[in-house]
Amino acid sequence: MSDSKNDILNGKAVVGIEFGSTRIKAVLIGPDNAPIAAGVHDWQNELSDGIWTYPLEAVKNGLQTCFADLMKNVESEYGVKLEKAAGIGISAMMHGYLALDTNDNLLVPFRTWRNTITEEAADKLTAEFSFNIPQRWSIAHLYQAILNNEPHIGNIRFVTTLAGYVHYLLTGRKVIGIGDASGIFPIDPDAKNYDAGMVKKFDELTSGTPFKEKLTDVIPEIVPVGECAGTLTEDGAKLLDPTGVFKAGVPLCPPEGDAQTGMAATNSITPRTGNVSAGTSIFSMIVLEKNLSSVHKEIDIVTTPNGDPVAMVHCNNCTTDLDAWVRVFDGLLKKAGVDMPKGKLYGMLYELAAAGDADCGGVISYNYYAGEPVTGIQSGKPLIMRNPDSPFSIENLMRSLVYGCVATLKIGMDILTDEEKVALDMIYAHGGLFKDPVPSQSILAAALGADITLMSSAGEGGAWGIALLAAYMSRGDRSETLTQFLNDKVFAGMKGSTVSPKQSDIDGISRYMELYRKGLSAEKAAAAG
């Protein structure tokens, strides 16, 4: 504790802040890269006029509340105030659309990754670029606004992601990390920058429209990993800590997306490795050895924090419906006079899921709170389906709800492994679905047909991941690569638990997926109603 106290007093600690779907978290790490304090703030997106959004005031208030919680916990634990740091990193949910005018006014409400309102633009850009442009990407949102001839498009001077926006508030610099940038616009892996040919095509497509700007004039500049991407300004320090205790002048690393911080937090940034992040959404990040042979709408090509190509299968829905069912069971217990702690209730229900039939007895769960582009579902409509003779038990229901969390991911991953023959040595898992690793870890192993490892650090999450990237920036050794830094300074000797897929589970989820695919037409019809 005395070492950590001195590190805090001497400004040797590093801060990482990540804006997740349901929680904003700040982590303070010491020179050994281990967390020494944390702060949190819970928040939720809103469905406003058909748009999934977070108000900007909620962004700013959440930042302040989270950082205040970190400062309070530092003082409580170590008896000193957090006044300075060796570095800061900002991370957030990738993609989405934050469009500002010349006075930094928000032109339309923040459109998050969860929206599925850009199908026309995504399809046209995919055809034009011969490169998959998903609906949630920033460029799809921008082009859809242009196609819709929305009144604001002539006033756009800056388009960025949530991480890029918060970083801009703190530093005044319109910059981004290459991983987050890869969810704005396609990246040229050799140039480590936006693909120049595609930029030119986009400018040609938008010529003659009210959008008069060149694309690269309105999207953020890419700053390489390990480089300083600005310093905390006086205004930024006041926003971060209105009490004035935390001082300006701290360097910030390039802001990154949650997918990239997940890769850093699991040390899965080299070819043949990958990770699965499972919370409100679920996505896999598989680092590629070579380019895919075809364009697949189910698969995005993004990058590691280094700028290396990654195949990303992103599904908009994961644990939200499972959590809703747990609240139902919690309400029933309370009506019966039983007040069971949340963690114990989840643990009990996961144990029941582990006892369910391998194919859930034909009970099928669609967890679609939002639209799901991977399966062509345009809007959310959670649904449970079963045959009249299905053994509808609590065990099979719970197992089906967990299967439903990974089913859409499996559809995309099957394309990578079966059609593209992508080889995998190790997949690391992290996120809320794995707080109770059984049966979720075993089910994911069966779904992907691969060993799944949970590192002892799996619970630290993306805030720790962006703190590691900020620590890498502040290290001073420019000859050390990010891979060397993670291998030698962070994960050396770290242990994990690995689960291999059982054949009975593989067979069971295969039967489940056969019914799941057949029922998608019913889910599509229900969602359209």
The torsion angle over the Cα atoms of residues 343, 349, 355 and 359, rounded to 10 degrees, is -120
pLDDT above 90 for 202:
yes
pLDDT above 80 for 459:
no
Beta-ladder partners of 383: 366
pLDDT above 70 for 438:
no
Q: How open is the CA angle 377-436-287, to the nearest 5 degrees?
A: 60
CATH architecture, range 265-456+502-529: 2-Layer Sandwich (3.30)
Q: What φ, ψ does residue 221 adopt, rounded to 5°? A: -75, 140
Model's pTM, two decimal places? 0.86
- What percentage of residues in the chain have a pLDDT greater than 90? 84
Beta-ladder partners of 106: 100
Banded model confidence at residue 477, pLDDT cuts 50, 70, 90 = confident
Which pLDDT tens digit goes with each residue over 248-258?
999 999 999 99
Residue 248: other Cβ atoms inside 10 A = 15
Which of 227, 224, 157, 228 lies closest to 193, judged by CA?
224
Q: For residue 433, what pLDDT is reported?
A: 82
Q: Domain 2-256 is in which class? A: alpha beta
Q: For residue 423, what pLDDT is reported?
A: 85
Banded model confidence at residue 458, pLDDT cuts 50, 70, 90 = low
Give me the chain's average pLDDT, please.
94
Tell me if 2-256 shares its fold with 265-456+502-529: yes
Banded model confidence at residue 332, pLDDT cuts 50, 70, 90 = very high
Banded model confidence at residue 437, pLDDT cuts 50, 70, 90 = low
Mean pLDDT of 52-77: 97
Q: For residue 7, what pLDDT is reported?
A: 96
Distance separating alpha carbons of residues 404 and 513, to the nearest angstrom? 10
Distance separating alpha carbons of residues 443 and 291, to the nearest angstrom? 29
Banded model confidence at residue 148, pLDDT cuts 50, 70, 90 = very high
Q: For residue 424, what pLDDT is reported?
A: 83
Domains in the chain: boundaries: 2-256, 265-456+502-529
pLDDT above 90 for 434:
no
Which pLDDT tens digit goes with each residue over 13-44?
999 999 998 999 999 999 999 999 999 999 99
